[in-house]
């Protein structure tokens, strides 16, 4: 079946602009995660959605970052007033449910470059 | 907070040889999961192998095996009969078994090069 998909694959934006990154999880997966991969910080957790529960936003680095998940499926990560330090690969993952034993399946990521 | 450390930024091995990638972690929990992920240039993270902390037996997946030392908090990955397709970044990751503790905590990664 289809895996996790993300769009766009690459995004170049000017400092100060807003960007939206999209994630389509595997069909039937109720859990969705966003991670950021940057040279300076490595791979870090950003946010987690599980069904209709309130998301775990504990990893969001600032209030310029927000995410939503509509209809329990597609998720959008929004970065407002982008800064150069936001340049990174943003990875999305999904899993069957909230159990820690469930594998997280990753998408190919979106490479964001802020100029 | 849990931390994961990979002390080898880069490793190289001759094709068909065996290589071991190191990983240590720090946690106060007794139940958790450990993973090795592979990230090729395509950027997609691929699960290589996983280990449940409550299992004493080391996990194996074909040419990939781990040496899990719970007391030492060590989790190394051994790749036997290395192949050119094994070249990638390898990440060690930790995940708590507590319900609701969903995030993966990653190490900094090891870049593996396979020499033909």
Specify whether the CB–CB gap between B77 and B64 falls below 8 A: yes
State both tokens at B45. Answer: 């993270």
In which band, very low, low, confident or very high, does the pLDDT at A1 lie, cut at 50, 70 and 90? low
Q: Which residue of B has its CA nearest to A32?
A: B102
Nearest to A109 among B32, B43, B105 (CB): B43
Domain boundaries, chain A: 5-10+21-96
Residue ranges and CATH numbers for the domains of chain B are 3-111 (2.60.40.10)
Dist. CA B66–CA B90, nearest whole Å:
13
Residue A98 C-alpha, separation from nearest chain B C-alpha, in angstroms: 7
Residues B53-73, mean pLDDT to the nearest whole number: 96
The domain defined by A5-10+21-96 folds into Immunoglobulin-like (2.60.40)
pLDDT mean over B42-64: 94
What are A's interface residues with B at a Cβ cutoff of 8 A? 31, 33, 35, 42-45, 48, 50, 56, 59, 89, 91, 93, 98-101, 103-104, 106-109, 111
Q: Is A30's pLDDT higher than 60?
A: yes
B24 and B34 Cβ atoms separated by less than 8 Å: no
A6, A107 contact by CB (below 8 A): yes
Q: Sorting pLDDT into bands at 50, 70 and 90, what band is B95?
A: very high
Q: Per-residue pLDDT averaged across B36-55, rounded? A: 94
For the record, the structure tokens of B5 come out as 């450390």
């Amino acid at each position: 079946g289809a895996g996790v998909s993300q769009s766009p694959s690459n995004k170049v934006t000017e400092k100060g602009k807003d960007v939206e990154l999209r994630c389509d999880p595997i069909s039937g997966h109720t859990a969705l995660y966003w991670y950021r991969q940057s040279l300076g910080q490595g791979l870090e957790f950003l946010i987690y959605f599980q069904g209709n529960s309130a998301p775990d936003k504990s990893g969001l680095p600032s209030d310029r970052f927000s995410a939503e998940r509509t209809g329990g499926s597609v998720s959008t990560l929004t970065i407002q007033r982008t800064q150069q330090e936001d340049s990174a690969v943003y990875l999305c993952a999904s899993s069957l449910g909230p159990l820690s034993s469930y594998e997280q399946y990753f998408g190919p990521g979106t490479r964001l470059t802020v100029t | 907070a849990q931390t994961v450390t990979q002390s080898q930024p880069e490793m190289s091995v001759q094709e068909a040889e065996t290589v071991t990638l190191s990983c240590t972690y720090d946690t106060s929990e007794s139940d958790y999961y450990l993973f090795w992920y592979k990230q090729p240039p395509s950027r997609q993270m691929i699960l290589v192998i996983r280990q449940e902390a409550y299992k004493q037996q080391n996990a194996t997946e074909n040419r990939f095996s781990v040496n899990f030392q719970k007391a030492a908090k060590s989790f190394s990955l051994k790749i036997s009969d290395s192949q050119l397709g094994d070249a990638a970044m390898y990440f060690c990751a930790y995940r708590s078994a507590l319900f609701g503790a969903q995030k993966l905590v990653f190490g900094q990664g090891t870049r593996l090069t396979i020499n033909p």
